[in-house]
Structure 1
Amino acid sequence: MSTLDVAKKDFLDVRRAKIVWFVGALYVLFMLLLIYAGQTGSQDPNILYSLWNLTAVGAMFIPLIALVTAYLAIAGERESGGIKYLLSIPNARRDVVLGKFITRTGVVSASIVVAFLVSAVLTLLWYPETRIDVLGGMMALTVLYALTYVAVAIGISAATASRSRAMGGSIAFFFVTSVLNVLGPLQLVIDYVANDLAGLEISTNQIAFVQSLVSPTAAYVNSTGLVFPDGFNTIPEELPWFLQGETMVVVMLGWLVVPLALGIWQFERADLG
């Protein structure tokens, strides 16, 4: 078997997980409600504001979809003993990790793409200006954002030997990088550590960059300047290079590659009994 063989087998398993499809369908529903709400009560509705609100919802909801879909991918197999079957076929351990990542990536990406495609159709029906370019750009950024959390979940799953540890690690990561980021404490912590404790006297923009490095959610929110018009809503018209949307995409790509690589490294060293 190869990476693709593992992915095909894993898809047969994951498609039976009702919680995965439920969470994905819930995101589609949330998005459709936002698109609908954005055009009610307005004679000249603007799809950009609906998509802007979607960014805030997606910042919290997308990680849940990704983590629920992927956190048991390998840890569940290890606890049940199924991992020994996968490795006896034979498969390299790297094949198992990458195959699981491909499958979970496909499932998460499919729910996001379906949500945006249906929204595009409704936008054509309900809004005077469709802005398909912004819709397409947001879809691409949202898929990339989701994949960073899939990679993190797969990495955690590969590095842990039980369901409870995989769940605990995923919840902790979500709380620190998403919940604390959206609610604000993460930025305050970085400011306190860098300026009050270390005395570095770094600027607000530099704090925002550090925040993006430690949180895929922050990088995702900051990357939206790539698709929304300059100065739209709270997007500044001028930003330093390290907060530009292109830099944020690179940061998200790093969040996609590094946790996956660490997961493979840890899984290859693990004693599977």
Structure 2
Amino acid sequence: MSTLDVAKKDFLDVRRAKIVWFVGALYVLFMAMLVYFGQNGSQEPNILNALWNLTAVGAMFIPLIALVTAYLAIAGERESGSIKYMLSIPNTRRDVVLGKFLTRTSVVAVSIVVAFLLGGGLTLAWYPDPEMDAFAIMTALTVVYALTYVAVAIGISAATDSRSRAMGGSIAFFFVTSVLNVFGPLQFAIDYVANDLAGLEISMYQIAFVQSLVSPTAAYVNSTALAFPEGFNTIPPDLPWFLQGETMLVVLVGWLVVPLALGIWQFERADLS
């Protein structure tokens, strides 16, 4: 067997997980609601405002879709013992990790693309200026963002040997990188450590960059500058190069590659006896 064979078998399992499709359907519903309320009762509705609100919703909701879909991908099979059968077919351990990643990313990406296709259709019907270029960019950025959390969940799952540890690691990662980021404590913590304790006197822009390095959610929010015009809403018109959307996209790709590579490395070293 190979990576694709593992992915095909895994898809048969994940498609039966009702919680995965339920969470994905909720995101589709949020998309429809935000597009609808963005134009309801407005003389000059602007889809960019709806997309801006969707960024805030997605920053919290997308990680849940990804983590729920992927956190038990390998740890669940290790706890049940079925991983030994999969590796006896034979598959390499790298095939297992990459196959699981391919399946889970496909499921998550389909959920997001369906939501944006629905939102795009409603936008064309309800908005005088649908801004389809911004819609396409936001779709791509949101898919990449979701895949970073799938990679993290697969990495955690590959590095742990039980459901409880995989769940605990995923919840902890979500809380630190998403919840604390959205509500502010992560930024305050970086500021306190860098400026108050270390006395580095770094600027808020530099703090925002560090925040993006430790949180894919922060990198995603900053990357959306690619979809919105300069100075839109709270986006500063003179962002330094290290906070430009292109730089944040590179950071997101790093968040996709590094956790997956670490998961493969840890799984190849694991004792499965």
Band the TM-score falls in, shorter-chain normalisation = over 0.9
The answer to whether structure 1 residue 151 and structure 2 residue 151 are counterparts is: yes
- 1:28-47 to structure 2, matched below 5 A, reads 28-47=28-47
Runs (4 or more) in structure 1 with deviation over 6 Å come to none
Counterpart in the other structure of 1:52: 52
User: Shift of residue 227 of structure 1?
Assistant: 1.1
Q: CA RMSD, aligned part only?
A: 0.4
Does the alignment pair 1:114 with 2:114? yes
Give me the whole-angstrom Cα distance separating, in 2, the residues matched to 1:205 and 1:4.
Answer: 42
Residues in 1 aligned to 2:54 and 2:272: alpha-carbon distance in whole angstroms? 42
Distance in 2 (CA, whole Å) between partners of 1:104 and 1:112 is: 13
- Aligned counterparts of 1:118 and 1:241: Cα–Cα separation in 2: 34
Say how many residue pairs are matched: 273
In structure 2, the partner of 1:190 is 190
- Alpha-carbon separation, structure 2, partners of 1:261 and 1:25: 30
CA shift for structure 1 position 41:
1.2
| Whole-angstrom CA distance in 1 between matches of 2:17 and 2:79 | 17
Establish whether residue 246 from structure 1 lines up as the match of residue 246 from structure 2. Answer: yes
Cα displacement string for residues 128-180 of structure 1 (whole angstroms, at most 9, x for unaligned residues): 11100000000000000000000000000000000000000000000000000
CA distance in 2, matches of 1:124, 1:243: 31
Question: Which residue does 2:270 correspond to in 1?
Answer: 270
Q: Distance in 2 between matches of 1:242 and 1:222?
A: 10
* Paired amino acid for 1:200: L
Following superposition, the deviation at residue 43 of structure 1 comes to 1.4
Partner of 2:234: 234
Secondary structure at 2:85's aligned position in 1? helix
Q: Distance in 1 between matches of 2:167 and 2:270?
A: 18
- Return 5+ residue gaps in structure 1 as ranges: none
Matches within 5 A, 1:58-77: 58-77=58-77
SS across alignment from 1:45: coil
TM-score by length of 2: 1.00
Structure 2 spans left out of the alignment, 5+ residues: none
Per the alignment, residue 210 of structure 1 pairs with: 210
Identity of aligned residues (%): 84
> In structure 1, what is the Cα distance between the partners aligned to 2:240 and 2:40?
37
CA distance in 2: counterparts of 1:60 and 1:104, whole angstroms: 19
Distance in 2 separating the partners of 1:234 and 1:158? 39
Provide the C-alpha distance between the structure 2 equivalents of 1:241 and 1:185, rounded to a whole number of angstroms: 25
1:259 paired residue number: 259
Distance in structure 2 (CA, Å) of the matches to 1:202 and 1:231: 23
TM-score for both structures, normalised by structure 1: 1.00
> 1:62 deviation in Å?
0.1
1:92-124 Cα deviation digits (max 9, x unpaired)? 000000000000000000000000001111001
